[in-house]
Amino acid sequence: MKWIKWLILAVLVLFLLAGGLPILMQRNYKETLVMGDGVTRVFKLSDYFEPLKGTIGDTNIYEFKGQAEGGKMLIIAGTHESEVSAMVTAFLFIENLKTEAGTVYVIPHFNYSGSLGTQPGGGYPLYYTIPTPWGEKKFRLGDRGLQALDQWPDPDVYVHYPDGQLLSYIDARNTNRTWPGRPNGTMGERITYAAMEMIRNEKIDVVIDLHEAETMFPVTNCIVAPERSKNYAVGAALYVKGREKFESHVEPSPSNFRGLSHREVGDYSDALVFLLEAPCVHLDQISGPKTNDLMIVGKDPFINVAAEKGLLFVPIDERGWTIERRVGQQSSVIQEIVNQFNRKNPERKILFTAPKHAEVVEKGMGTFFKDPEKAAESRIAFE
Ligand SMILES: [Zn+2]
């Protein structure tokens, strides 16, 4: 009966390979980007905090420096790596943004570890793709927090530093609960500490943290702003509604809920901070199979039923919450926040151009991405 043992062992090894290999391959898959002419430099977050160098917490920062002097803006994407439109907006900017005055910095994968694996048991694909005129552009789909592989073990209760507020254990790996961070803390705390060092050392004027949220979650389709940023956010919300005909309301940042970018960045630096939430259906618990279409086309029959029952916080129509609408919204809201900033701070103007909501919706997401096969080698970037 010895052969039965060998058979069981062979089956086990097969299962292990079938389950493990795709996950290992995703962890090592590199996204290819074609940097636009606007990118003047690529450097590392660890340039502001040496101990991050060579670790999974380090990540790329793309700089867009204008000819004229001006203010500075930092755009953070990939705090939550399952919130697709945040990263796609960063990729859109890296390939298309041009700066005339001041400096724009873009971080596409703030929580790089989070981009290296999807939510365990969540039923999500390992990648998402966007159709382009030259083929499918492929990205890693990530998770909300750092991978347990990269920050382990989880505590029983997460104690926020420096406030001491007690938060869910799972938020110890959430880089939107570890602000402002500390140099000798967990990986998550070191990442946010490095970003705070950048914001303080570079004297960043505007910090924008990109997210998307469920249609059944009240804090969606909005700009979250603390007290100092509120007037800018209200102005931006009114202008996008008036000029670009879409809604994005303002939510106040609660002062008693700690660790979030829209709270701590403003409290621990001079920057004006904003967190943008675009609505998406793939994160809604009730949505159907977590397919590529669900993330990119943004339509789901169960969400439609929920909409009929009045359970959603955003309107649903035949268009779906497409990647174009979500990315276009992120881009236009960012640009309107900067317009508001420029009006009140003419000596620190930040002038740049990037595709706006109507243009992205009309032309389609894929038309803004260049074919890496036809690009100069010096313009290729890997994420
Ligand atoms: Zn988020």
| Distance in angstroms (rounded) separating the CA atoms of residues 320 and 343 | 34
Question: Residue 177 sits in a domain of what CATH number?
Answer: 3.40.630.10
Residue 83 CA to ligand 1 center (angstroms) comes to 6
- The answer to whether residue 10 is domain-embedded is no
Residue 79 CA to ligand 1 center (angstroms) comes to 7
Q: What is the pLDDT of residue 1?
A: 74
Average pLDDT in the chain: 97
- The answer to whether residue 231 is domain-embedded is yes
DSSP-based three-state secondary structure for 332: helix
Structure-derived torsion over alpha carbons of residues 275, 356, 294, 123, reported in degrees to the nearest 10 = -40
Residue 253 CA to ligand 1 center (angstroms) comes to 14
- The answer to whether residue 13 is domain-embedded is no
| Distance in angstroms (rounded) separating the CA atoms of residues 226 and 68 | 30
Residue 54 CA to ligand 1 center (angstroms) comes to 26
DSSP labels, 269-318: SS-EEEEEEEEESTTSTT-SS--HHHHHT---HHHHHHHHTT--SS---T
pLDDT tens by residue, 220-269 = 999 999 999 999 999 999 999 999 999 999 999 999 999 999 999 999 99
What are 328's two structure tokens? 């276009």
Query: How many CB atoms sit inside 10 A of residue 166's CB?
Result: 10
Burial of 226 (0-12, 13-18, 19+ CB in 10 A): buried
Q: How confident is the model at residue 336 (pLDDT cuts 50, 70, 90)?
A: very high
Residue 18 CA to ligand 1 center (angstroms) comes to 31
Residue 374 CA to ligand 1 center (angstroms) comes to 34
CB-based contact 287:306 (threshold 8 Å):
no
| Bridge partners for 251 per DSSP | 224
Q: Once rounded to an integer, what is the mean pLDDT over residues 199-216?
A: 98
Residue 377 CA to ligand 1 center (angstroms) comes to 33
CB-based contact 307:243 (threshold 8 Å):
no
- The answer to whether residue 165 is domain-embedded is yes
Shortest CA distance to 209 belongs to which of 282, 159, 259, 146?
259
| Distance in angstroms (rounded) separating the CA atoms of residues 86 and 270 | 24
Residue 16 CA to ligand 1 center (angstroms) comes to 32
Residue 261 CA to ligand 1 center (angstroms) comes to 11
- The answer to whether residue 146 is domain-embedded is yes
CB-based contact 86:234 (threshold 8 Å):
no
Residue 327 CA to ligand 1 center (angstroms) comes to 14
DSSP labels, 21-79: HHHHHHHH---EEE--TT--EEEEGGGG-GGGTTSTT--EEEEEE-SEEEEEEEEE--S
Q: How confident is the model at residue 72 (pLDDT cuts 50, 70, 90)?
A: very high
What are 53's two structure tokens? 């160098």
**Could you tell me what percent of the chain has a pLDDT over 70?**
100
Residue 297 CA to ligand 1 center (angstroms) comes to 19
Residue 35 CA to ligand 1 center (angstroms) comes to 26
Residue 309 CA to ligand 1 center (angstroms) comes to 26
| Distance in angstroms (rounded) separating the CA atoms of residues 347 and 274 | 21
- The answer to whether residue 18 is domain-embedded is no
- The answer to whether residue 7 is domain-embedded is no
Domain housing 51: 31-382
Residue 278 CA to ligand 1 center (angstroms) comes to 10
Q: Can you say whether the dihedral through the CA atoms of 101, 329, 222, 172 is positive or negative?
A: negative
pLDDT tens by residue, 239-248 = 999 999 999 9
Structure-derived torsion over alpha carbons of residues 13, 14, 19, 24, reported in degrees to the nearest 10 = 70
Residue 202 CA to ligand 1 center (angstroms) comes to 25
Residue 20 CA to ligand 1 center (angstroms) comes to 27
Residue 220 CA to ligand 1 center (angstroms) comes to 10
Residue 2 CA to ligand 1 center (angstroms) comes to 53
pTM of the model: 0.97
- The answer to whether residue 188 is domain-embedded is yes
CB-based contact 258:248 (threshold 8 Å):
no
Count up the domains in the chain and report the number: 1
